[in-house]
Amino acid sequence: MFKILKKEDLSEQITLFDIEAGDIARKAKPGNFFILRTHEQGERIPLTIADFDADRGTITTVFQKVGKTTHHMGTLNKGDFITDVIGPLGNHSHIENFGRVICVGGGVGIAPVYPIAKALKETGNTVTSIIGARTKSILFWEEKMRNVSDDLIITTDDGSSGAKAVVTVPLEDILRNDKVDLVIAIGPAIMMKFVCKTTEKYRVKTIVSLNSIMIDGTGMCGGCRVEIGGETKYTCVDGPEFNGHEVDFDLLMNRLQAYIPEENIAMNQTEEKVEVKYNEINKRRKKSKAQSADEGAASPCAG
Ligand SMILES: Cc1cc2nc3c(=O)[nH]c(=O)nc-3n(C[C@H](O)[C@H](O)[C@H](O)COP(=O)(O)OP(=O)(O)OC[C@H]3O[C@@H](n4cnc5c(N)ncnc54)[C@H](O)[C@@H]3O)c2cc1C
Ligand code: FES
């Protein structure tokens, strides 16, 4: 059982949890992810470790409510428990002093880019970060990103914050004028595809973190397979980071849509049932915790 120590709604659709998970926090590195199951019958979903604190024993995750599991996660609160959390999974980011690095985060991809930008800055890189979202109300972590970047550029599709542009516009401006040693891009597959198309023209190495559908997260099921440079790779054990210029993004996007009818049915049919069940389970957990605290206080061994 893993306790939610903090819940913060970063926007209507995006929520942050700090989860008590000491073993994972002590081993986590930028770029790692974890898999959780909110309850015994729940599905396993992968989420990036957006931050971690080994001393407090916490991992931070930022999730966007897109379907059944993430919506139900949104109904959990501080003090509630998540049944299973496994990690850290995947290969961590390769961090060294590359020189001038541009970190691009789109939408909820800002969260996974943050620990990488932070580690790159701490290693002496000059870090320019570009963060983008459709509109201001779904942008988050501007201050956090500013604190780990030499420069921060904000873009929104509707111009409600920063430049009215997509992230590739300021990226191309920089590439046209300056020498850049590495670009890291995390966000929707379509954004990563166009970042790679842009950087390819300037021959700048580009790392992307892929969000393929995962089941076991340990290389056994084949669900997360992607094509990299014409070879089949498994995002969970060979990635999640890959050379963006070798990724078959069209295949990735196709595979991400493979279960949309089932996902819609799951979302529509079970939402109310599961919500009621979560509330019951959490009520029971709190009650039994309160009982054991009372018993502990009454016990001659207590204290
Ligand atoms: C390595 C990795 C890191 C990720 N990190 C984050 C993160 O930090 N924050 C965040 O909001 N999202 C992250 N995702 C995506 C997240 O796992 C999906 O949004 C989530 O699984 C959706 O589940 P759902 O039941 O709410 O939605 P569903 O309705 O089941 O699915 C909505 C969409 O999410 C994707 N998805 C569904 N099931 C899975 C699955 N088992 N594995 C991967 N993708 C799935 C599909 O594209 C699907 O169309 C990450 C994915 C990967 C692979
Ligand atoms: S999730 Fe099963 S092989 Fe990667």
151 C-alpha to ligand 2 centroid (Å): 37
Mark 74-102 as b/e (b = at least 16 C-beta within 10 Å): bebeeebbbeebbbbbbbbbebeebebbb
Domain ranges of the chain: 2-89, 100-256
| Ligand 1 atom closest to the CA of 89, numbered from 1 | 1
Of the ligands numbered here, which is closest to the C-alpha atom of 238? Answer: 2
Look at domain 100-256 and name its CATH class.
alpha beta
| Distance from the alpha carbon of residue 33 to the mean position of ligand 2, in angstroms | 13
| Closest C-alpha to 75, from 278, 285, 284, 286 | 278
Distance 289 CA to ligand 1 centre (A): 32
Please report, in tens digits, the pLDDT of each residue of the chain (303 residues total).
899 999 999 988 999 999 999 999 999 999 999 999 999 888 999 999 999 999 999 999 999 998 889 999 999 999 999 999 999 999 999 999 999 999 999 999 999 999 999 999 999 999 999 999 999 988 999 999 999 999 999 999 999 999 999 999 999 999 999 999 999 999 999 999 999 999 999 999 999 999 999 999 999 999 999 999 999 999 999 999 999 999 999 999 988 887 766 767 777 765 555 555 555 555 655 665 565 555 443 333 332
Does ligand 2 have an atom closer than 6 angstroms to the CB of 219? yes
CA dist 172 and 9 (Å) reads 33
Q: Which fold has domain 2-89?
A: Elongation Factor Tu (Ef-tu); domain 3 (2.40.30)
Residue with CA closest to ligand 1 atom 31: 67
Q: How far apart are CA 3 and CA 269, in angstroms?
A: 28
Predicted local confidence at residue 256, as pLDDT? 83
Q: Ligand 2: does its nearest atom lie under 6 Å from the Cβ of 162?
A: no
What is the pLDDT, as a whole number, of residue 295? 46
222 lines ligand 2 (CB under 6 A): yes
* Rounded (10°) angle between helices 68-75 and 260-298: 30
How much is the pLDDT for 303?
25
Output the pLDDT for position 257. 81
Q: Is the CB of 73 under 6 A from ligand 2?
A: no
| Size (the chain), residues | 303
What are the residue ranges of helices labelled H in 20-109? Answer: 22-27, 68-75
CA of 102 to the centre of ligand 1 (A): 25
* CA–CA distance, 221 with 251 (Å, rounded to integer): 18
CB of residue 221 inside a 6 A radius of ligand 2: yes
User: Best mutation site among 216, 232, 238 for ligand 2, i.e. most ligand atoms within 8 A of its Cβ?
Assistant: 216
Ligand 2 centroid–CA 154 distance in Å is 34
Cβ count near 213 (within 10 Å): 17
Contact yes or no for 43/69 (Cβ under 8 A) = yes
Nearest atom of ligand 1 to the alpha carbon of 46? 17
* Lookup result for tokens 């309850």: 39
CA distance 209 to 198: 17
Q: Ligand 1 centre and the CA of 155: distance in Å?
A: 24
CA of 236 relative to ligand 2 center, distance in Å: 6
Mutual angle of helices 189-201 and 168-177, in 10-degree steps: 20
8-state DSSP, 84: E
